[in-house]
Amino acid sequence: NQSPLPLGSLPAVPTLPLLQALRMRAPGSPGWQVGPASGQPLRYMLNLYRRAADREGRPRRSRSLGTNTIRLVQASSHGGQPWAGRWYLQVLTYHLEGQPEAEHLLRATVVYLPSLSLAHGHLLCALELVVAGEAPRVLLSPTARPRHGWAEVDITPYLALGNSSVGSLALRHVCVRAGRAGGHDAPVAPGHPFLLLYLNDTQAGLAPPAAEPHRHQC
Amino acid sequence: DTGMLAHDLPNYLREQGGEKSDCSLHSFPVSFAQLGWNPWIIAPHRYNLRYCKGTCPHLLRYDYHAPNHAVVQSFVHQLVDANVPWPSRVPYRYSPISVLMIERSGAILYKEYENMIAESCTCR
């Protein structure tokens, strides 16, 4: 009936680099901020994944995404009450600090739904970039034809490539409800746009490459 | 005496089951749930790791891609000191897999990881 060993006395298990790398990403470990992904962002990434790899995870050479890492970043904070009559306005903030150094930014886009069908009429949306101290700047129109309704706008220049000091990005998501005003049903809020960071991971192994281990003569 | 060895080569080859057989590469489908990684790896659910097994032949011919070190070590094991281990069968070429995972920040990550599937074996 041995009392459980106090944690402090457990031998320090040398964590294997792989487990170290995975533990850094594991949910439930300290710093796990947001619940598991769900809804539209997850569906978008699952579709992207199925286009890029087969059922066993083997990359389809014919469908290369042109990079080995793509990170979907969701808005981590947004303003208060977004609706005013037909208008919807939401300020969204995306936190970008803490990107692993080994991941070099190739391209950044924001993905959103330019139009959404509603029970009565539909919603037309646009994005504005909020630059500190300047009036919001309307982003260019989508750089590619919307795929499955999703439009992707290239915002790479705004992230001041190479300037790793870009900690966060603020966008204004503006929509207007077109068509007959619906009954008294609560207005349907559009899904939040999300960022896609196309990165080149220069250390594509699982475990962060430890320096050449200095092994003593056995 | 290399003359003897060359003369004796056919026996060596017969002894090793004739032609080089890559039956050393074994399939092993593994799921990320079995590894306990499924809380944050969304896709794929499983993949075929493949691994190398079996003893290395006595004569590491050119098509094993074995480095010279392995050839010498096999001779040392046979002729000098059996405590020096026989070369082991290990993967020679690998291929990547793509993974979809969730990060602690809630970001969703698509990542291609190198060297995740063994495609062929060698002796080292």
**Per-residue pLDDT tens for A11-55?**
344 445 555 566 555 554 444 444 455 688 999 999 999 999 999
Across the interface, whether the CB atoms of B112 and A68 are under 8 A apart is answered yes
Greater model confidence, B55 or B82: B82
Question: Is A53 an 8 Å CB contact of chain B?
Answer: yes
Q: Is the separation of the CB atoms in B91 and B120 below 8 Å?
A: yes
Greater model confidence, B73 or A13: B73
The letter for the amino acid at B122 is T
Within 85-144 of A, beta carbons closer than 8 Å to B belong to: 95, 98
Question: Is A207 an 8 Å CB contact of chain B?
Answer: no
What is the per-residue pLDDT for B106? 86
What is the per-residue pLDDT for B112? 93
**Cis before A100 (ω within 30):** no
Least confident among A103-107, A133-137, A197-201:
A133-137
What is the per-residue pLDDT for B109? 94
What is the per-residue pLDDT for A185? 54
Query: Is residue A68's pLDDT more than 70?
Result: yes
Across the interface, whether the CB atoms of A46 and B42 are under 8 A apart is answered yes
Query: Is residue B65's pLDDT more than 50?
Result: yes
* Pairwise CA distance, residues B15 & B8, whole Å: 11
What is the per-residue pLDDT for A9? 38
Least confident among A81-90, B35-44, B72-81, B110-119:
A81-90
Q: Is the separation of the CB atoms in A85 and A101 below 8 Å?
A: no
Averaged pLDDT score across all residues of chain B: 84
Across the interface, whether the CB atoms of A52 and B110 are under 8 A apart is answered yes
What would the DSSP string read from start to end of A79-146?
-S--EETTEEEEEEEEE-TT--TTEEEEEEEEEE-SEEE-SSSEEEEEEEEE-TTS--EEPPPPSS--
3-state helix, strand, coil in chain B (%, to 5): 25, 35, 40
Mutate to test the interface with B, among A43, A109, A198, A206 (most CBs of B within 10 A): A206
Close Cβ partners of B101 (under 8 Å, ≥ 6 residues apart) = A25, B40, B41, B42, B108, B109, B111
Phi/psi of residue A40, each to 5°?
Answer: -60, -45
Least confident among A19-23, A75-79, A83-87:
A19-23
What is the per-residue pLDDT for A1? 37
pLDDT-based confidence at residue A195 (cuts at 50, 70, 90): very high
- Average confidence (pLDDT) over B11-34: 71
Measure in Å the smallest separation between the Cα of A100 and chain B Cα atoms.
Answer: 12
- Average confidence (pLDDT) over A134-158: 74
Across the interface, whether the CB atoms of A46 and B95 are under 8 A apart is answered no
Predicted ipTM > 0.85: no
What is the per-residue pLDDT for A199? 93
Across the interface, whether the CB atoms of B39 and A27 are under 8 A apart is answered yes
- Give B61's Cβ-side CA count (13 Å radius): 11
Across the interface, whether the CB atoms of A58 and B95 are under 8 A apart is answered yes
Close Cβ partners of B48 (under 8 Å, ≥ 6 residues apart) = A56, B27, B28, B29, B30, B117
Question: Is B36 an 8 Å CB contact of chain A?
Answer: no
Find tokens 């190398």 and name the residue: B52
Cα three-residue angle A85-A89-A48, rounded to 5 degrees: 125
The letter for the amino acid at A58 is R
Greater model confidence, B81 or A6: B81
- Average confidence (pLDDT) over B85-105: 92
Across the interface, whether the CB atoms of B103 and A49 are under 8 A apart is answered no
Query: Is residue A162's pLDDT more than 50?
Result: no
Question: Is A37 an 8 Å CB contact of chain B?
Answer: yes
Q: Between B100, B103, B112, which is nearest A46 by CB?
A: B100
Measure in Å the smallest separation between the Cα of B38 and chain A Cα atoms.
Answer: 10
Q: Is the separation of the CB atoms in A35 and A161 below 8 Å?
A: no
Close Cβ partners of B33 (under 8 Å, ≥ 6 residues apart) = B45
What is the per-residue pLDDT for B62? 63
Query: Is residue A184's pLDDT more than 90?
Result: no
Query: Is residue A122's pLDDT more than 80?
Result: yes
Which residue from B minimizes the CA distance to A42? B108
